[in-house]
Amino acid sequence: MDEFVIAPAPVPVVPVEDERGAALGGFPVRRILCVGRNYAAHRREMGGDDRDPPFFFSKPADAVVPPGRDPAYPTRTADLHHEVELVVAIGGAGRDLDVAQALDAVYGYAVGVDLTRRDLQARAKDKGQPWDAAKGFDDSAPISAIRRWQGPAPTGRITLSVNGAVKQDGSVADMIWNVAEIVAEASKLWGLAPGDLIYTGTPEGVGPLVRGDRVEGEVEGVGKLTFTVR
């Protein structure tokens, strides 16, 4: 094929920083996987059964909102919710990885917010319908710069505040599936490749956002994410 018949869409890019915060370049996003119900207290606040294992859903790559941009309040919802999450950036290929190899596929980590149309999600759950409209809408995946990272995965505090008031305050160590287990599990369902992002689930305290809200998310040792809902 010689030429495209329409202009190809630009590749979504997230900036990368080294361990000291210096810019390293851009991380081209291939796709976004997300883990649902990966913290017991959040699973309970969503009415889930204590024996339900975590599971995956996805968002399109162009749902990412890199630092410096503000997400638009989505259409067709009256209940937009924040979910602060540790994000794993994949730098290596992987199929059928075991837990011991899984961290070798990790390039780095970021702070993300899995924005959710909670009203549409509740309706989809009731009817047994897919979550795409509830989870995979435009601007639904704000993310901080990715921090290059080698070695054991982060396990520190994860927080989110709205207009300065703390709404979510948990610990990444409380995840039901840890990072290695998430990457290994994902690699059994998909062929992971450089550019994949995995949002790893949110602790308790999710709640609504309105236009003009200033949101700050942080994962200890990984970074901070700040945006205003426009």
Point out which span in 11-19, 117-125, 149-157, 194-202 binds Mn ion (CB under 5 A): 194-202
Size of the site for Mn ion (CB under 5 A): 3
43 near Mn ion, rule: CB under 5 A? no
Q: Smallest distance, Å, CB 27 to Mn ion?
A: 20
| Nearest CB to Mn ion, comparing residues 17 and 131 | 131
168 near Mn ion, rule: CB under 5 A? no
Residue among 59, 114, 85, 51 at smallest CA distance from 182: 85
Distance CA 36, CA 53 (A): 9
Q: Smallest distance, Å, CB 112 to Mn ion?
A: 9
Q: Is 44 left (phi over 0), alpha (psi -120 to 50) or beta?
A: alpha
216 near Mn ion, rule: CB under 5 A? no
Residues 53-112 that bind Mn ion (CB under 5 A): 83
121 near Mn ion, rule: CB under 5 A? no
Distance CA 7, CA 200 (A): 33
| Nearest CB to Mn ion, comparing residues 17 and 209 | 209
Per-residue HEC secondary structure of 48-66 comes to CCCCCCCEEEEECHHHEEC
Residues 123-152 that bind Mn ion (CB under 5 A): none
Task: Out of 80, 180, 202, 227, name the contact with Mn ion by CB under 5 A.
Answer: 202
114 near Mn ion, rule: CB under 5 A? yes
Q: What is the DSSP string of 149-216?
A: --SSPP-SEEEEEETTEEEEEEEGGGBSS-HHHHHHHHHHHS-B-TTEEEE----S--EEE-TT-EEE
115 near Mn ion, rule: CB under 5 A? no
Binding footprint of Mn ion on the chain (CB under 5 A) = 83, 114, 202
